[in-house]
Amino acid sequence: MLVKICGITTQEAADTAVEAGADFIGFLFAESKRKIAPEDAAAIAASIPASVKKVGVFVNESLENMKHTAEIVGLDVIQLHGDEPSEVAEQLPYEIIKAFPATEKALQNLKKYPCNYCLLDTPSKKSRGGNGIAFDWSLLDTLHLDRSKIILAGGLTPENVKDGISKVAPAGVDVSSGVETDGKKDINKINRFIANAKHTRKDDVS
């Protein structure tokens, strides 16, 4: 099970996630309380091993800015978390994670989008992700999606991640606010989230 810890802003949180077995470390470069400057992300990224992929999260950003930030930080993956058309993804020389709000209409477009992974998040009018609210996972039962490309996000916590994996059978899971306490990354929660996610085998799902 792939695990992405997103919204990293400190060296301690990054080190904890890496040591616990995270596969992706996410830096947010869009407006948010978790936004980080490229130079600060680069300083943290310098100690992340090559086996852990560094993800930059952008919302409706220009191609030039995304490429420039990716070069500064040394990103491996770009996550498009806005309304970016497929042409944007096709012009980025990086692995792509495309976020989709978990609505039936939005998910119909998922199959045609050129990306390595599709991140399914809780729909929100206020902000893009990081809302701490889970969507109705049963929505996916009616859609014939390639589960090997799905990263489940939205309201996951150390307590419910096993249930989410069991019901959705995704390739990976993504968390930000679910491993925070008072708006800050919680070392204990990061460790518990990754342990619980990694100890749930997809082939055990009935």
Distance CA 66, CA 72 (A): 10
| Most distant pair of Cα atoms in the chain: their distance | 45
- Which regions of 15-92 does DSSP assign to beta strands (E)? 24-28, 53-58, 77-80
Q: Which of 23, 115, 118, 121 is catalytic?
A: 121
Q: Which of 6, 76, 118, 174 is catalytic?
A: 6
Instruction: Verify whether residue 6 is a known catalytic residue.
Output: yes
Pairing of strands 53-58, 77-80: parallel
17, HSE (Cβ side, Cα atoms, 13 Å): 35
Beta carbons of 29 and 203 less than 8 angstroms apart = no
> Which residues, other chains included, contact 144 with Cβ-Cβ below 8 Å and sequence gap of 6+?
none
Catalytic residues: 6, 121
